[in-house]
Structure 1
Amino acid sequence: MIKVSPSILSADFANLIHDIKKVENADMLHIDVMDGHFVPNISIGVPVVQAIKKASHLFLDVHLMISDPLFYAEAFLNAGADLFCFHIESDSDAQKVIDVVKKHGKKVGIALKPKTSPSAIAHLINQIDMVLIMTVEPGFGGQAFMEDMLPKIQEVKCMAAEKGRSIDIQVDGGINETTGKLCVDAGSNILVAGSFVFQAKNPSEMVTKLQKL
């Protein structure tokens, strides 16, 4: 079964918990944190993650699109992040971030921007639980899927296999039934979907469709 992580970036922030309850059949909930520096947009912070944790049973998949994830790691982990995913392109020391997350007993993922080669995380592949491959430029929802990212999914899968690992490979950006199937065929097992899910009349039905790909 493919795992689906609806992105709340496309939810109605004035009725956030109401929208989250529409996707309770999802495997996890994707929370995009943006600081206006690492990406040209600002989204949400620690208090929102804390509030969601209290109101939802879903596994919280927190994607940090921020310049200094190490500085904020403790705060987000204490707020309820179950998976802490940061960008290899950030200013923080990746090993130190991984160590903090592991100390908290939580899962850790590393995200790659479209122009970043998987070779950038080859030395860390044995220590992480997930690789997030961005299929759009990070920062804004509703962008078109970048099909030329598909070989990167295969590359990460092969790289992990060479190390004797079978890790989660998540994709984020422009995911729907068609693009999701392309990613699954390439080797991804976690699909992040925002607009496709939350802008549908029946969000839970869209989640199920993606899970069955």
Structure 2
Amino acid sequence: MRQTILVVDDEPDIVEIIQYNLEKSGFDVIVAADGPVALEKARDETPDLIVLDLMLPGLEGTDICRILKQDERTRSIPILMLTAKSEEIDRIIGLELGADDYVVKPFSPREIALRIRNILRRRSVPETPGPVRAGPLVIDVEGHHVSVSGSAVSLTATEFKLLAVLFQRRGRVQTREELLDVVWGYDYMGYGRTVDAHIKRLREKLGEAAGMVETVRGVGYRFAR
């Protein structure tokens, strides 16, 4: 079954290039040129992934990302941001809001397809024999479910993979580079702060269990034993 990608960008030339290359790579593509249409299509058609330009007329990409991640109907849809080099602050905000990855313009169409495949692949996490508990935190890798003190925690695909990897290697320090390689799945061309942004967001969602994800200053992160 072909996976569906929603491309949100107001520049027809860019949309045409992305759509052509994604369809050539085996994806179905739907498009939106502004925020309201993007939100409507995300809710109605539930795409497998959204390619979201940050600079849009009216409703900006960061606002769209925030709305999508607050809506139960769309919060689990992965988001790949398109940004300009000058939009670093917006890029970090987007990652903190729950976006999964970003591509900086100008970009290679092949890179977009590669990043999309790797984001979608992250949903497949190595199985463990049922739920595991660490204090108030319960992780069900097979069921893709996390709870803290009995309350369900909604994580993006990347946040879940990050938590699962740290837990599976608990007690061992993981450098940012190691996490980029394992969680992002390839030689990721972003900054180490990408990991920091996802860790910050993950801790916020874990609430009372946030302290189980420890920072090892100057090195990286580890899951407490």
Under a length normalisation based on structure 2, what TM-score does the superposition of the two structures give?
0.36
Higher gyration radius (CA): 2
Higher RCO (Cα < 8 Å, 6 or more apart): 1
Under a length normalisation based on structure 1, what TM-score does the superposition of the two structures give?
0.38
